[in-house]
Structure 1
Amino acid sequence: MSKNTGKSSSAAPNGPSINEDDERDPTSSVALTLPSFVAGSGTLDRLVDTAQDYARAAASDNTLKAYGKDWAHFARWCRMTGVDPLPPSPEMIGLYLADLASGSSPSPSPSASRPLSVSTIERRLSGLAWNYAQRGFVLDRSNRHIASVLAGIKRKHARPPMQKEAILAEDILAMVATLGFDLRGLRDRAILLLGYAGGLRRSEIVSLDVHKDDTPDSGGWIEILDKGALLTLTGKTGWREVEIGRGSSDLTCPVRALKQWLYFAKIDFGPVFVGTSRDGKRALEARLNDKHVARLIKRTVLDAGIRAELPEKDRLAMFSGHSLRAGLASSAEVDESYVQKQLGHASAEMTRRYQRRRDRFRVNLTKAAGL
């Protein structure tokens, strides 16, 4: 691999100047500008701002935050090794990937702690490609210095994906039973039951508004009908509708829990799930962060005594926001296509990854083949 020995004060040909500002997070200001031959005006400047807002909306906030961290890590690595992050050097990126996989850099390299998983390395590479694009460069991931190193990493270090534990029907019943009936308890009960019955991502839960177009950052809205609640959501696979029917018990019905929360919290506009005052008696205006859903799941898993035979640290690591989606996929004994539609998966294979206890040998090809 060829060497890139440029210092941080050099300039990239036909690109921006290189300095420590290259560690800045481009997600905070997407670099969209007018062409050099067009004179600015109030109208065009406002359109540039509007285009930047649309560009930032092209990916979720969590994805943008991850990409920002990816770039900051790579920029620090470049500074530690005495090279420039710009323009993209396939040779140096190949070395960076090798470092991530082996954890071989001497201290104080930021990657010296431990080798990263293949999935994390692939995510880092995607983050670099996105960040380079924001700076006007193209990262050729098919270049042999990148592609061959990544292929070798996959061959040597790839492992089956680590899946979070599914929250099954008996688990969710025990979890909601630990919650009180004050305002905070009503909200958290609605979050757990709605997330479980809808197979929702935690970001989808907190992005819901009461009505369509209530807020600019809305990820969907709800309609409460006679037979259940209809959720219209936007996510990784585009817009979809999620039908949540009424439950067989008032205590565990997700639709009733949602209606109770909205009624007692006096919410008729804007975000469905918001924070509460310290005394738990008053709903606030600010939308909940999706991290609240993950913390809620972990806390109620512990309070309900789920997998109590294991140490607390292991139990906390086993469950996450995805445990709700996996729980629905594993517990709903219906045709697989209905589960796939509810989860918003593009393929049945993806849905099967969420099914922790499906009947794997319902079709016996061994006997069917005459053995």
Structure 2
Amino acid sequence: MLRDMSKNTKKSSSKAADGSSVNEDNERGRPDGEALSLPSSVAGSGALDRLVETARDYARAAASDNTLRAYAKDWANFSRWCRMKGSEPLPPSPEMIGLYLADLASGSDPSPALSVSTIDRRLSGLAWNYAQRGFTLDRKNRHIATVLAGIKRKHARPPVQKEAILAEDILSMVATLPYDLRGLRDRAILLLGYAGGLRRTEIVSLDVHKDDTPDSGGWIEIFDKGALLTLNAKTGWREVEIGRGSKDQTCPVRALEQWLHFAKIDFGPIFVGTSRDGRRTTQARLNDKHVARLVKRTVLDAGIRSDLPEKDRLALFSGHSLRAGLASSAEVDERYVQKQLGHASAQMTRRYQRRRDRFRVNLTKAAGL
């Protein structure tokens, strides 16, 4: 296998899966969806050209913006690596990809070695990019699969999970926020994200009503007993029920109502930017990175895990800590937590259930020892 890997380092003309030639220079630079075009045997027309653009829009919508950005970076990195090695990224060469994975795992100046999970993600990005260009990357090919298996065996480490924000933590975090518009907004984000077990992208993609904006990821209906969120989530459409809390100060639905009322938001994105003085709203939808920054900032302000240096505390918490916090804090039947998080299996839900007070249930004593 290693002898075979030394081949295919020179430039070559490419052919697609159907045997037709492909213009490598054009294909290489095309973003997702751009490769969609009319067959050469079909005459173009205004109506068909519009359909091509529509099809490209749907193709771009097949994955989230974050995923598309990551895949674009994966392709750019691999293309640059190929050029440095005197090769070309097209057509796909399992031998060269195997060498690329080995380089990522071993590291080379000035690039450090990447983690196994990042390497796996890079490979998924390459497979996706090749598919958009009319090629198929066989991940089971021995030049790829064997190298990847060896990397995992030698370098794999237990997954690093973000720390869960527990009930007492979220109360301390929202207590650090002021009561200006920005504070009302951020309080609603934290409480809604925690009670709903929401991803940060799900939080910021919410609109007031259905179909308010083209980039909407869902909407909210408020009732006497709580709020119903309809989300276009990672696994498809789902509904999330958020009941009212025991106190107005910590009720996520009440916090949302206050934000909408004082910000005078009755249409479009629910969570938008504010002026620097925190007194006026803008029309721009918040970026999901705001949620991660908000969690980190309020964790520091609330003094959570003050036993650790600030750098370590910042690394421990992220937007996903809200989602893990609900799974770890809710003392209810596991099925309800699984439904709230939108997981297909209870096993995935258990991966989110992590608490600092371990050994709450001592099975050793329960077994009579």
Gap change, CA 1:66 and 1:184, over 3 Å in 2: same
Displacement of 1:363 in angstroms is 8.6
Q: Distance in 2 between matches of 1:240 and 1:182?
A: 33
The within-5 A match list for 1:168-207 is: 168-207=166-205
- Structure 2 stretches lacking a partner, 5+ long: none
Which residue identity is paired with 1:192?
L
Q: Tell me the residue number matched to 1:11.
A: 13
Displacement of 1:86 in angstroms is 0.3
Gap change, CA 1:22 and 1:308, over 3 Å in 2: farther
Q: Distance in 2 between matches of 1:311 and 1:100?
A: 30
User: How many pairs were matched up?
Assistant: 360
SS at match of 1:295: helix
- Structure 1 stretches lacking a partner, 5+ long: none
1:157 has 2:155 as partner: yes
1:68 has 2:72 as partner: yes
1:56 has 2:60 as partner: yes
Q: Distance in 2 between matches of 1:215 and 1:326?
A: 29
Displacement of 1:25 in angstroms is 5.9
Gap change, CA 1:40 and 1:253, over 3 Å in 2: same
Cα deviation per residue 1:66-111 (whole Å; 9 max; x = unaligned)? Answer: 00000011011101111110000000001111111111x4x4xxxx
The within-5 A match list for 1:193-342 is: 193-342=191-340
TM-score (norm 1): 0.93
Which residue identity is paired with 1:18?
E
SS at match of 1:26: coil
1:26 has 2:31 as partner: yes
Q: Tell me the residue number matched to 2:117.
A: 119
SS at match of 2:56: helix
Q: Distance in 1 between matches of 2:175 and 2:366?
A: 46
Report if the CA contact (8 A) 2:9-2:85 is conserved. no
Cα deviation per residue 1:39-64 (whole Å; 9 max; x = unaligned)? Answer: 11111111111111111111111000
Report if the CA contact (8 A) 1:4-1:84 is conserved. no
Percent of aligned positions with the same letter in both sequences? Answer: 80
Q: Distance in 2 between matches of 1:25 and 1:218?
A: 26
Gap change, CA 1:23 and 1:319, over 3 Å in 2: farther
Displacement of 1:22 in angstroms is 6.4
Cα deviation per residue 1:14-53 (whole Å; 9 max; x = unaligned)? Answer: 443334x6663613x5311111111111111111111111
Q: Distance in 1 between matches of 2:40 and 2:86?
A: 33
Q: Give the CA RMSD over aligned residues.
A: 1.9
Report if the CA contact (8 A) 2:116-2:155 is conserved. yes
Q: 2:354 aligns with which of 353, 356, 367?
A: 356
The within-5 A match list for 1:70-85 is: 70-85=74-89
Which residue identity is paired with 1:43?
A
SS at match of 1:151: helix
Moved more, 338-347 or 356-365: 356-365
Report if the CA contact (8 A) 1:294-1:321 is conserved. yes
Displacement of 1:310 in angstroms is 1.3
Q: Distance in 1 between matches of 2:363 and 2:295?
A: 37
Q: Distance in 2 between matches of 1:165 and 1:53?
A: 37
Q: Tell me the residue number matched to 2:104.
A: 100
Q: 1:39 aligns with which of 38, 43, 46?
A: 43
The within-5 A match list for 1:139-158 is: 139-158=137-156
Cα deviation per residue 1:304-333 (whole Å; 9 max; x = unaligned)? Answer: 111112111111100001100010000000
Report if the CA contact (8 A) 1:168-1:327 is conserved. yes
